[in-house]
Chain A
Amino acid sequence: AIQLTQSPSSLSASVGDRVTITCRASQGISSALAWYQQKPGKAPKLLIYDASSLESGVPSRFSGTGSGTDFTLTISSLQPEDFAIYHCQQFDIYPLTFGGGTIVEIK
């Protein structure tokens, strides 16, 4: 199975900061990557698909880049509602797999 490694596993940031999370795949997956946001006690919410396509209704401060094995999720200006856990997911090869998650905390 393809392994996805997210880094960092957690980070502390302030409102207004630019935040970047990376996701590295154990083998190339083209652009078959999605990003989700999960708040405590809630289900994940789709943010980005196809590595860089913004899901409808998601604020434009979220963006995704990458292809092959290296991907990034960037939040251009962190807002209070963005403090959450972020997960990447590959959909290139079965079984579908997720990264371990990145916790974004308030500094």
Chain B
Amino acid sequence: QVQLQESGPGLVKPSQTLSLTCTVSGGSISSGEYYWTWIRQPPGKGLEWIGYIHYSGSTYHNPSLKSGVFMSVDTSKNQFSLKLSSVTAADTAVYYCARDVVISGINYNWFDLWGQGTLVTVSS
């Protein structure tokens, strides 16, 4: 079955760029017209949607995020990635990648498959 796995540095310095990758296994990132999403959860707090990317490269992200958001996809590696620039301590969180539910080509924007999450701490 399809599985998602996040990877990346666990510690990032303030003002630097946070970079994470999600590897899709057990299926193709470009099949089923899926959209692929990033969500984060600060320690002890609720979930925050960051944005999604389609295998075609189209993206949409949460405009309320103060750090710059860039997402990309590499279909040859079956991966999609997230970069957050100029991070601060407020970006410390567990970061999840997830799969959006798509039915008949429509992205319904709920999430039926999640990675296990990776903790990223922003600290000097």
Binding site for B on A (CB under 8 A): 1, 34, 36, 42-46, 49, 55, 87, 89, 91, 94-101
Contacts and interface: CB of A to CB of B under 8 A. Distances in A.
A64 B95 CA distance: 27
B109 A96 contact: yes
A91 B110 contact: yes
A106 B45 CA distance: 21
B117 A43 contact: yes
Interface of B: 45-49, 60, 62-64, 96, 98, 101, 108-112, 114-117
Given A95-B63, A96-B109, 6 more contacts: A34-B110, A43-B96, A87-B46, A91-B110, A96-B62, A98-B46
Contacts of A49: 101, 108, 110
The SS class assigned to the A binding surface is loop
Contacts of A100: 45-46
Contacts of A101: 46-47
A42 B49 contact: no
Most chain A CB neighbours (cut-off 10 Å) among B98, B114, B115, B117: B114
A45 B116 CA distance: 11
Given A95-B62, A96-B109, A45 B114 contact: yes
B117 A55 contact: no
